[in-house]
Structure 1
C-alpha cells in the first residue's frame, strides 16, 4: 500500500469509528460552553496543525498528547487532538496514542484490529490532511462531553465529526462507539455554524 493511500485509509477508518455525539440542552446555569481556549498556538503532528492551548495538552510522548483541563474548553481541545492523532499516527505511534488517548473497551479493541491492517509511515499528504476550523460543545457534564469538530480539506469541502470524550484517569479521552453502531459520525456540511468556537488552523 502506498503511503498516500495508507494515510487516507487510516484517516477514513478513524472517522468511520469516531465517537457519536448527541445534542445537549441549553443549561444557562452550567459552564460556558462557548468560551474559546486561551493561549492558542499551532504545532504540527504528522502534517496536521493541532491546537495547543492553556487548557491542554500539557505533555506529549511517543506521539500521544495528554493533560487537558477539566472544563468544556479542555474537552473541546481534547476532542480535536485525539481524533486527529488517532487518524494520522504512524505504525510506530498508533498503539501508544490509543493507549493514552482512548477509553478502554470493546470499541478500542475493534479499532486496533482495523488499524493493524493499515500502514502509515509518514505525514499526511496535503490532499488528505484536514484543517481544523473549530468545535462546538453539544453536551457537557463533568464526566462526558459531546463535541462537534469542524474541519476543511484541500478541495475546500467541509465536514463535521461528531465525537465524545470522557473524563477517564484524570484526563479527557476519546470514547469510540460500541461495535456494530450504525450511526454516522461524520457528515459533509456547507457552512460552519455561527456558534462554533472558531480556531482555524493556518493553511
Structure 2
C-alpha cells in the first residue's frame, strides 16, 4: 500500500493531483454534444437568483435558488436543469472532488461525477492521497463563470477564480445530465482544464458577494 501524502492546502492539493492526473481530467470529457438535444431558451447570462455563500473545506461556494438544494456532507445535489443550474453544479463538483476529505470523496464520485473510465481512474488516484483538514490559506475565490455551450443534456462551463496573490485561473468543465448534472472526467487526459489567465472576460456571469 503506497504511503499517503497529506495535502491540507487545497491549491497545493489541486496542483499536485493535477500533475498526477487526478484533476487534469475535469472538464476534458470526450463526449460529443447530442445533435438531437435542444438548446435552452433560458438566458445563459442570467445571474443565479437568491445567491448566498457557504464555506466548505475552507472555500466559499455559491448557493442559489437554482441549486444546490440538497447538501449532505461533501455532496451537493439538486441543481436546476438550466444554464445557471449547470454552472453552479460545475463549481461545486470541481471543488468538492478536489478537496473532499478522506471518508467522503467516494460519495462525491458516486453522486457528482459522470460514470466512466475517467471517474474510475480518478478514484484510483484519489485513494493514494490524504486530505484530512480544511484549507488554511491560498484558497480560491470564485469570481463567476461563462457558459461556452449549453443544451438540456450537456453543458460546458468556464469557471473563473482568483487567489490571494491576485492570479486568476479558468477551469473548463463539461457536465452531462444523468439524473442531475454530473461532471465528466476524461480518460486519457489530454491537457489540464485549468489555465492561468490575465483577466476575466467581459461576458462573465459574476457571482458577487453581498
Q: Same fold (TM over 0.5)?
A: yes
Aligned residues: 195
Matches within 5 A, 1:163-182: 163-169=173-179, 171-177=180-186, 179-182=187-190
Residue 186 of structure 1 corresponds to 194
Residue 124 of structure 1 corresponds to 135
Deviation digits for residues 84-117 of structure 1, max 9, x if unmatched? Answer: 1111110111111111100111000000111111
| Match status 1:88 vs 2:99 | yes
SS for the counterpart of 1:124 is coil
Give yes or no for contact 1:21–1:146 (8 Å, CA) kept in 2: no
Deviation, structure 1 residue 126: 1.4
Choose which of 139, 146, 158 in structure 1 pairs with 2:168: 158
Deviation digits for residues 109-145 of structure 1, max 9, x if unmatched? Answer: 0001111111100102312x21100011000010000
SS for the counterpart of 1:16 is coil
Distance in 1, Cα, partners of 2:202 & 2:44: 14
Residue 52 of structure 1 corresponds to 63
Distance in 1, Cα, partners of 2:152 & 2:100: 28
Give yes or no for contact 1:50–1:201 (8 Å, CA) kept in 2: no
Deviation digits for residues 36-66 of structure 1, max 9, x if unmatched? Answer: 1000000011000000000000111131000
Matches within 5 A, 1:92-103: 92-103=103-114
Residue 8 of structure 2 corresponds to 4
SS for the counterpart of 1:42 is strand
Matches within 5 A, 1:36-75: 36-75=47-86
| Match status 1:197 vs 2:208 | no
| CA separation of 1:154 and 1:60: change in aligned 2, threshold 3 A | same
Distance in 1, Cα, partners of 2:122 & 2:154: 21
Deviation digits for residues 133-162 of structure 1, max 9, x if unmatched? Answer: 001100001000000000111211000000
Unpaired runs of 5+ residues, structure 2, are none
SS for the counterpart of 1:161 is strand
Distance in 2, Cα, partners of 1:84 & 1:174: 11
SS for the counterpart of 1:4 is coil
SS for the counterpart of 2:192 is coil
What TM-score, normalized to structure 2? 0.86
| CA separation of 1:89 and 1:182: change in aligned 2, threshold 3 A | same
| Match status 1:109 vs 2:124 | no
Distance in 2, Cα, partners of 1:2 & 1:172: 30
What TM-score, normalized to structure 1? 0.88
Choose which of 149, 160, 163 in structure 2 pairs with 1:139: 149
